[in-house]
């Protein structure tokens, strides 16, 4: 797509090379047909697809029939066919405006990042993705700078007789938190020799109501909590369920259900659970601009509970249960609170419990909780039947040190929830946004191991007080989103120079303007004009005046050389350096470990990095070194690289330990078979299990038993690989590091390590393998130049210049945490 900004942002569309054949087939079919009906999805993207089809096939948008349905079922399609309409151009314009605006932001911002942020030529920015990264970066900094405050929680365990004279035990708590250990100790001391009695007992009824049926975002959140699915996985499975006619359309922010659906749900509840479990409910959309006439996500047939495979089944069951529960009766509970009197002081303890009197919708479904919500509602058990005034027997009372917590890091699902709360993005954009920020290496999803922490307890038992210090594991996290150093540097730069683009309210306002276009209240090109002029001026000003940045953070002075130590982004990622570009001696560099960050690395940790590579001596006449590379720490033995196990500090690796690892590797690398008198070895790498033969790495599919590969298995895998390699290359030019190869989608160019497209043939269409073999080297190089301008320019810079690029500019003496960029 091209954009003519001078001509009111008029877009020009070009058919992708790989779609020309499909379009030609559609044109042929359209010519043979009396009438063409359009049935793409009923959202803005779907409406745009219908309009594009009209344009490509030469159909009149005023007369071509457009039908929509929310589910792929016979009844829904018959209903749609009976009520055709024409293409809604307001929806098309809304989608077009979003696409053009996002393309403008990406096209104009990305070159600024290439020029102004050191270390990368492949950075990109986007209107929604940059704001999403900002949320993650700011949450990370809150966590980094958070100082836990300790308080003491008091709980007591009692024995008693209930009203039926049965022995019972229960727990009571002091409602207030105590600020320090002195206050906690004083509270327990005041309880020495006390008598405990039941005070006022309060019994109150309570009700819990079910949640609304799923929207796109709530489905993504619940599938993450309950099934552990990523946002993209949830949407992929939901797409398959929709295409199979099992659920309604899965990109929606509506919570309403059709009358026919409500009737079907009622029938299923009455049949499965009975009349008392049914309660009709009408849910209203919180978002006034919930897209068009969508329904919530629901099964198309409530009596159908079977999907095609286990992963589909799990998501389908979740949707089925949530839909059913949305029309079921409230759960009825009884909450009991008993005050416990302490004879030696006026303060009271509180015991509470609840009893489920009628399960209602809970018979079928209980909504999951995010980590940030989990402390708000405590699950309470039953409280024994006690009577006011009765005596209680204290078993023990404890004051336990508890620490305040920062807000947790985002999961994919909780990020979607936050974006929705802020009005940023729409159902169709959540999953692509989250995938993009990870693919760009601005954010990584990973687990974090917990750390040991001491906490104190004070125990009152048998009128004696005892103090203890215990240990707990804290801070462990699973599948959380962490910003990379690159993500932090880019976010800081954009916040400084493009505050409006990074503003949450501004981004939400843009979304509302798209909604106004969809509702026919705003002209799409007027909206773009209002955005573009100030934005373009900002881009030009930043390109002209902003200083180049690499997120430099000064750590201190090297005690050996007296030179300054910095952490920053380098050409190959986060690193630390000793010295500066204008020093007489060359600066020294060390790569940060995967667990380290520019933001948090300490002076001592930086010095440790310069202890590597470390020579351990010789073993069997070969040098043994310990070092850290891009993929973590390793032992280098001669020309062999042996990974050091995860969690093991490379600086603690002795010669004895290195020899252990060398021996283990030699056993692991021992031949498991031979083919053509050459050894076959096996191993596991970043991309899974493999065998190696004659310098050829061959992936081992899951169909094979990797632990028990036979000679026959190895021969089979090698022959398949050789056959594939024989058909891989169409043309090779080793001197230029260029090859033309067969790929899954047809021939392509490989230049150095990059995969590039072959331009279409002059007459249109894609090259076959036979035709690609006839393309000259000059023509191939021209195709490469079109995609990578300057790819064959001769390097004029000398080695010294390259070295300068790898060093930091000398920051001002005031810089302690990051470089300040001047406007």
Alpha-helix residue ranges (DSSP H) falling in 524-563: 524-545
Q: How far apart are the first and last CA of the chain?
A: 33
Sequence-distant (6+) residues with CB within 8 A of 372 are: 407, 408, 414
Residue 119 vs residues 116, 124, 328: alpha-carbon distances, Å:
10, 13, 57
β-bridge mates for residue 341, sequence order: 197, 348
Q: What angle, rounded to 10 degrees, do the helices at 89-116 and 485-497 form?
A: 110
H-helix or E-strand spanning residue 504: helix 504-518
Q: How far is CA 795 from the centre of its chain?
A: 39
Length of the chain, please? 823
Asked whether the CA dihedral 154, 158, 162, 167 is positive or negative, the reply is: positive
Structure tokens at 676: 């053509």
Catalytic, out of 174, 196, 242, 249 = 249
CA dist., res. 113 & res. 251, Å (int): 33
Q: How far is CA 513 from the centre of its chain?
A: 27
- Tell me how crowded residue 277 is: count the other CB atoms within 10 A of its CB: 20
Q: What angle, rounded to 10 degrees, do the helices at 430-439 and 412-421 form?
A: 120
Q: How far is CA 501 from the centre of its chain?
A: 22
CA dist., res. 425 & res. 510, Å (int): 10
- CB-hemisphere CA count at 13 Å for 78? 3
CA dist., res. 282 & res. 498, Å (int): 43
- CB-hemisphere CA count at 13 Å for 385? 5
Geometric angle at alpha carbon 125, from 119 and 126, rounded to 5°: 170
Query: Please, are residues 326 and 267 in contact by the beta-carbon 8 Å criterion?
Result: no
Asked whether the CA dihedral 8, 12, 13, 17 is positive or negative, the reply is: negative
β-bridge mates for residue 328, sequence order: 278
DSSP 420-435: HHTT-S-TTTHHHHHH
3-state helix, strand, coil in the chain (%, to 5): 35, 25, 40
- Nearest 5°: phi and psi at 449? -75, 145
Q: Say whether 717 sits in a helix, a strand or coil.
A: helix
CA dist., res. 279 & res. 105, Å (int): 49
Residue 249 designated active-site: yes
Sequence-distant (6+) residues with CB within 8 A of 255 are: 212, 213, 215, 283, 284, 285, 286, 290, 296
H-helix or E-strand spanning residue 553: strand 553-557
Q: Say whether 403 sits in a helix, a strand or coil.
A: strand
- Tell me how crowded residue 345 is: count the other CB atoms within 10 A of its CB: 11
Q: What is the DSSP letter of 355?
A: E
- Nearest 5°: phi and psi at 286? -70, -35
Which residue pairs from 717-720 have beta carbons closer than 8 angstroms and sit at least 24 positions apart in sequence?
717/691, 718/675, 718/680, 718/691, 718/693
β-bridge mates for residue 641, sequence order: 636
Structure tokens at 588: 């020294």
Structure tokens at 359: 């399960």
Query: Please, are residues 480 and 448 in contact by the beta-carbon 8 Å criterion?
Result: yes
Residue 12 vs residues 7, 55, 474: alpha-carbon distances, Å:
11, 12, 55
Query: Please, are residues 637 and 658 in contact by the beta-carbon 8 Å criterion?
Result: yes
Enzyme catalytic residues = 249
């Amino acid at each position: 797509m091209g954009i003519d900004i001078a001509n009111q942002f008029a877009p020009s569309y070009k058919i992708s090379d790989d779609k020309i054949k499909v379009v030609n087939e559609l044109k042929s079919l359209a010519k043979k047909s009396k009438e063409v009906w359009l049935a793409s999805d009923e959202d803005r993207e779907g409406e745009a697809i219908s309009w594009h089809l009209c344009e490509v096939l030469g159909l009149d948008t005023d007369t071509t029939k457009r039908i929509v349905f929310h589910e792929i079922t016979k009844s829904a399609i018959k209903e749609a066919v009976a009520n055709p309409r024409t293409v809604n151009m307001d929806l098309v314009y809304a989608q077009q405006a979003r696409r053009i605006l996002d393309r403008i932001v990406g096209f104009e911002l990305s070159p600024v990042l290439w020029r102004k942020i050191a270390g990368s030529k492949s950075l990109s920015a986007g209107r929604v993705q940059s704001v999403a990264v900002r949320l993650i970066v700011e949450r990370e900094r809150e966590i980094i700078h958070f100082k836990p405050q300790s308080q003491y929680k008091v709980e007591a365990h009692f024995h008693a007789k209930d009203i039926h004279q049965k022995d019972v035990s229960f727990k009571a708590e002091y409602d207030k938190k105590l600020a320090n250990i002195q206050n906690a100790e004083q509270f327990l001391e005041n309880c020495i020799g006390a008598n405990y009695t039941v005070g006022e007992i309060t019994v109150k009824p309570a009700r819990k109501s079910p949640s609304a049926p799923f929207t796109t975002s709530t489905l993504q959140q619940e599938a993450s909590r309950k099934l552990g699915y990523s946002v993209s996985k949830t949407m992929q499975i939901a797409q398959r369920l929709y295409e199979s006619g099992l659920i309604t359309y899965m990109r929606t922010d509506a919570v309403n259900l059709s009358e026919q659906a409500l009737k079907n749900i009622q029938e299923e509840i009455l049949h499965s659970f009975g009349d008392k479990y049914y309660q009709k409910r009408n849910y209203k959309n919180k978002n006034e601009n919930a897209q068009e006439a969508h329904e919530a996500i629901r099964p198309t047939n409530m009596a159908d509970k079977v999907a095609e495979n286990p992963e589909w089944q799990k998501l389908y069951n979740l949707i089925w249960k949530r839909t059913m529960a949305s029309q079921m009766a409230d759960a009825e509970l009884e909450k009991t609170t008993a005050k416990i009197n302490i004879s030696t002081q006026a303060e009271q303890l509180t015991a509470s419990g609840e009893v489920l009197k009628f399960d209602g919708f809970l018979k079928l479904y209980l909504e999951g909780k995010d980590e940030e919500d989990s402390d708000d509602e405590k699950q309470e058990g039953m409280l024994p039947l006690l009577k006011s005034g009765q005596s209680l027997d204290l078993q023990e009372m404890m004051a336990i040190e508890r620490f305040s917590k920062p807000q947790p890091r985002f999961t994919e699902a909780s990020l979607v929830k936050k974006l929705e709360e802020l009005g940023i993005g729409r159902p169709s954009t959540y999953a692509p946004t989250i995938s993009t920020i990870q693919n760009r290496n601005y954010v990584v999803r990973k687990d974090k191991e917990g750390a040991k922490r001491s906490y104190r307890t004070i125990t009152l038992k048998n009128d004696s007080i005892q103090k203890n210090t215990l240990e707990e594991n804290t801070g462990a996290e699973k599948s959380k989103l962490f910003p990379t150093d690159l993500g932090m540097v880019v976010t800081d730069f954009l916040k400084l120079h493009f505050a409006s683009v990074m503003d949450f309210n501004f981004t939400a306002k843009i979304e509302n303007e798209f909604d106004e276009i969809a509702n026919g209240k705003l002209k799409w090109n007027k909206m773009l004009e209002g955005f573009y002029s100030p934005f373009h001026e900002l881009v030009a000003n930043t390109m002209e005046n902003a200083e180049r940045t690499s997120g430099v953070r000064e750590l201190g002075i090297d005690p050996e050389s007296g030179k300054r130590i910095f952490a920053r982004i380098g050409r190959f990622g986060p690193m630390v350096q000793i010295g500066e570009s204008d020093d007489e001696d060359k600066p020294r560099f060390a790569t940060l470990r995967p667990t380290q960050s520019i933001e948090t690395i300490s002076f001592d940790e930086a010095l440790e990095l310069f202890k590597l590579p470390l020579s351990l001596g010789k073993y069997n006449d070969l040098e043994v070194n310990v070092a850290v590379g891009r993929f973590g720490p390793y032992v280098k033995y001669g020309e062999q690289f042996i990974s050091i196990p995860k969690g093991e500090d490379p600086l603690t690796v002795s010669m004895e330990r290195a020899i252990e690892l060398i021996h283990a590797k030699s056993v692991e690398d021992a031949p498991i078979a031979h083919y053509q008198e050459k050894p076959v070895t096996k191993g596991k790498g970043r991309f899974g299990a493999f065998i190696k033969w004659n310098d050829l790495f061959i992936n081992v599919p899951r169909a094979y038993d990797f632990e028990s590969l036979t000679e026959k298995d190895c021969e089979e895998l090698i022959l398949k690989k050789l056959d594939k390699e024989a058909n891989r290359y169409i043309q090779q030019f080793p001197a230029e590091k260029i090859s033309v190869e067969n790929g899954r989608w047809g021939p392509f160019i490989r230049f150095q390590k990059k995969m590039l497209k072959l331009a279409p043939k002059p007459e249109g269409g894609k090259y076959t393998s036979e035709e690609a073999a006839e393309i000259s080297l000059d023509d191939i190089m021209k195709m490469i130049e079109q995609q990578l301008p300057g790819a064959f320019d001769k390097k004029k810079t000398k080695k010294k210049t390259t070295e300068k690029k790898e060093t930091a500019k000398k920051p001002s003496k005031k810089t302690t945490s990051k470089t300040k960029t001047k406007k």
